[in-house]
Amino acid sequence: MERVVRFLGGEPIVATYVFEVGGMRIAVDPGPASTLGSLEVDAVLCTHIHLDHCGSAGHLGKPAYVHERYVRHLVDPARLYEASLATLGVYAEVFGRPLPAREAVGVPDGARLFDAVDVFHTPGHAPHHVMYYYRDEKVLFVGDGAGVYIPELDVVIPTTPPPFRLQQYLESLSRVRGLDVDLLCFPHFACTRRVEILDVHREQIVGWVEALRDLVGGSVDDAVRAVAKVDENAAKVLQTGGLYADFFLRYSVAGLLDYLRSASSS
Ligand SMILES: [Zn+2]
């Protein structure tokens, strides 16, 4: 399997995985429109429609597979882009404007694609989130449903931007934990055979939620410091800085604060 890393300003933003099945080259999450390089593939699997993952799906002109209820956002991405500008601000501009996909294919939960890849709807990070399980090689493409794995720091941190749904997320994790997996592949940013990372991550996210419970309404900076205090993974990322801290850590903390706020008001 090939791994193609896309960079923003010299820092990795997403890894695209390309593998071959039945004579077809399949790309998982081709990355943002602005960073698309040459990619010779026959089909694209989108774990979800966030711009950093599948913003370039339309540019490739190949069939793009996506959660069955969100096909329209690939066919006509104008509203998705407007919504991304509202939530991500300058990052949406940096990721670039998506083009309409020529052919978007909706995938139902439980579907099997190309006779080899099983589809799991895994909401939580986003309602349109899907994981793909490549059965022959026992590879699980986790999308943003199992955190951000940073190999050079050997850490995992949540990727939980608003609107995050904790219960759905944990249920999704439990669901795929039962699969026979040899390799977990994270778009941010590498694959690992340490499948137990899924359990580490589950505990981590519950720990972050506890650490942030009394900080709702406070600043994101304080909240970031609070999670770094209880989690050495977060502390390492904060110390490293760059996109890891400015983009992933801050948006994840903001999403959990937003979740706690909405949970307390409902
Ligand atoms: Zn995402």
**Ligand 1: distance of its center to the CA of 125 in Å?**
7
**Ligand 1: distance of its center to the CA of 144 in Å?**
5
Residue extents of the structural domains in the chain: 2-196, 203-265
* pLDDT band (50, 70, 90) for residue 215: very high
**Ligand 1: distance of its center to the CA of 187 in Å?**
10
Quick: pLDDT tens for 6-22.
998 888 999 999 999 99
What pLDDT is attached to residue 36? 84
The protein residues having their C-beta less than 5 angstroms from ligand 1 (an ion) are 50, 144
- Amino acid (1-letter code) at residue 234: A
Q: For 123-126, which contacts have Cβ atoms below 8 Å and span 24 or more sequence positions?
A: 123/165, 123/168, 123/169, 123/172, 124/164, 124/165, 124/166, 124/167, 124/168, 124/169, 124/170, 124/171, 124/172, 124/173, 125/48, 125/159, 125/160, 125/161, 125/164, 125/169, 126/48, 126/49, 126/50
**Ligand 1: distance of its center to the CA of 204 in Å?**
18
**Ligand 1: distance of its center to the CA of 126 in Å?**
7
Mean pLDDT of 93-118: 97
Mean pLDDT of the chain: 96
Mean pLDDT of 77-93: 95
Quick: pLDDT tens for 41-66.
999 999 999 999 999 999 999 999 99
* pLDDT band (50, 70, 90) for residue 236: very high
What pLDDT is attached to residue 147? 98
Mean pLDDT of 189-200: 97
**Ligand 1: distance of its center to the CA of 54 in Å?**
9
CA distance 36 to 247: 20
**Ligand 1: distance of its center to the CA of 174 in Å?**
19
CATH class of 2-196: alpha beta
**Ligand 1: distance of its center to the CA of 131 in Å?**
12
pLDDT at 39 over 80: yes
Mean pLDDT of 169-193: 97
**Ligand 1: distance of its center to the CA of 89 in Å?**
15
**Ligand 1: distance of its center to the CA of 190 in Å?**
16
What pLDDT is attached to residue 38? 81
* pLDDT band (50, 70, 90) for residue 231: very high
Percent pLDDT > 90 in the chain is 95
What pLDDT is attached to residue 266? 72
What pLDDT is attached to residue 264? 87
CA distance 130 to 263: 24
What pLDDT is attached to residue 106? 98
